Amino acid sequence: MPDEDELSLKGARLKTDVAIIGGGAIGSAVAYFLKLHDPAVAVTVIERDPGYRLASTPRASGGIRRLFSLPENIQLSQYSIAFFESFPETMAVDGGAADIGLHKGGYLFIVPPAHRATLRRNLETQRRLGCDVSWLEPSELKEQFPSMNVEDLGAAVHSPGDGWLDPHSVLTGFRNKATSMGAEFLADEVTGLTRGGNAVTGALLRSGQRIEASQFVNAAGAWASEICAMLGVEVPIRPLRRFEHFFECQDSIEPLPYIKDTRRLAFRPEGTGYSGGVPTLAEPRGYNFDVDGGYFEKAVWPELAHRFPQFERTRCRRTLPGLYDQNDFDGNVIIGPGAGPLANFHLLAGFSGHGLMHAPGCGRAMAELLLTGRYQTIDLRRFGWQRLAAGTPVREHGII
């Protein structure tokens, strides 16, 4: 890690109030909410890949759901889904609406008999927080979705107001709006960070420039631990490869919601077919974008055909690899300051598959923290760094 003296004046010095590292859905959402709450604050987002060729956001499945067990995640979904509903108007620039292809087709969580009690507890938490969710016995499930094999199922929870949207449009919407409000997006790469005492003082960029800021946000997604490593800080966020498949079915099935099975199958309708996959935590961690041509047949097709006999005759048209920013400590986001003693270095990563749907809620939470020093809308203190130091994971229960 270079110190101040070593740097001298090698390249141009830029100054900003908040420097955000990573301009995916998360970094762009933070930029938008900062400018919304304080138009005077100078915001610079540093994004090395403005075409987002490898970023996770455009590779996401687009699912949005309230079906979590932790109150924080449920509240983040409630806030974010309401935000997505008015996204086209809220993010409009020069009168042009920011369409995100929101499809409120519902979300269905199906579980085996052994998971009924956990599912019931989660439903009660969701209802207590105001979610409109319904319990379905296997017979009711069969009535609603006649093609589904329910023989090995114990129950389901349906959230009719949930659904899916187009991830890339969410990113572009936040980015365009933030830009129109004065946030600056720099096409550059952070290659190092400097510190003075207990503060981060600057970011070194591939172009040779150096940017100084009073606050830094690490929104680098699956690359967040590399940014932390520039400060000698270790964080248990690792890149986890996941495939999103587009597949078609020869035989027709009734309209389906986004379906999530505790056997890890997750899929939804998309155009003339379906989009989804079977993520596995057994996948070795790493920046691997290779496509395993046999994965669909090996892992996804049997699960699909088990649940809907129509998928016996399915064809995978396309497989897209992408990375989860997997928090191997407890599967939830790490938000806020506190990496070592560094009070002005904030992490916002580790979403482990929920980042897109929580971008509005977390973007706002981070802006509140940066501008006022505390959460105003949703109390996310349990998702802070302190849980790592204390060794107390905050995990979802019965939710994959």
Ligand X SMILES: Cc1cc2nc3c(=O)[nH]c(=O)nc-3n(C[C@H](O)[C@H](O)[C@H](O)COP(=O)(O)OP(=O)(O)OC[C@H]3O[C@@H](n4cnc5c(N)ncnc54)[C@H](O)[C@@H]3O)c2cc1C
Residue numbers at the binding site for ligand X (CB under 6 A): 21-27, 46-49, 52, 55-57, 59-63, 189-190, 219-223, 227, 242, 244, 322-325, 349, 351, 353-357
If the CB atoms of residues 57 and 126 are measured against ligand X, the closer one turns out to be 57
**Minimal distance in Å, beta carbon 332 to ligand X?**
11
If the CB atoms of residues 35 and 48 are measured against ligand X, the closer one turns out to be 48
**Minimal distance in Å, beta carbon 3 to ligand X?**
20
**Minimal distance in Å, beta carbon 239 to ligand X?**
10
**Minimal distance in Å, beta carbon 88 to ligand X?**
19
Cβ neighbourhood burial of 45 (10 Å; 0-12, 13-18, 19+): buried
If the CB atoms of residues 157 and 357 are measured against ligand X, the closer one turns out to be 357
The three-state DSSP-derived secondary structure of the chain is CCCHHHHCCCCCEEECCEEEECCCHHHHHHHHHHHHHCCCCCEEEEECCCCCCCCCHHHCCCEECCCCCCHHHHHHHHHHHHHHHCHHHHCCECCECCCCCCECCCEEEEECHHHHHHHHHHHHHHHHCCCCCEEECHHHHHHHCCCCCCCCCCEEEEECCCEECCHHHHHHHHHHHHHHCCCEEEECCEEEEEEECCEEEEEEECCCCEEECCEEEECCHHHHHHHHHCCCCCCCEEEEEEEEEEEEECCCCCCCCEEEECCCCEEEEECCEEEEECCCCCCCECCCCCCCCCHHHHHHHHHHHHHCHHHHHEEEEEEEEEEEEEECCCCCCEEECCECCECCEEEEECCCCCCCCCHHHHHHHHHHHHHHCCCCCCCCHHHCCHHHHHCCCCCCCCCC
**Minimal distance in Å, beta carbon 146 to ligand X?**
26
If the CB atoms of residues 60 and 157 are measured against ligand X, the closer one turns out to be 60
If the CB atoms of residues 38 and 189 are measured against ligand X, the closer one turns out to be 189
Collapsing DSSP states into helix, strand and coil, what is residue 316? strand
If the CB atoms of residues 54 and 199 are measured against ligand X, the closer one turns out to be 54
If the CB atoms of residues 63 and 331 are measured against ligand X, the closer one turns out to be 63
**Minimal distance in Å, beta carbon 36 to ligand X?**
18
If the CB atoms of residues 303 and 325 are measured against ligand X, the closer one turns out to be 325
**Minimal distance in Å, beta carbon 355 to ligand X?**
2
**Minimal distance in Å, beta carbon 374 to ligand X?**
23
If the CB atoms of residues 150 and 223 are measured against ligand X, the closer one turns out to be 223
**Minimal distance in Å, beta carbon 116 to ligand X?**
25
Nearest 10 degrees: Cα torsion 77, 78, 82, 83: -50
Q: Name which of 108, 150, 159, 141 is nearest 307 in CA terms.
A: 150
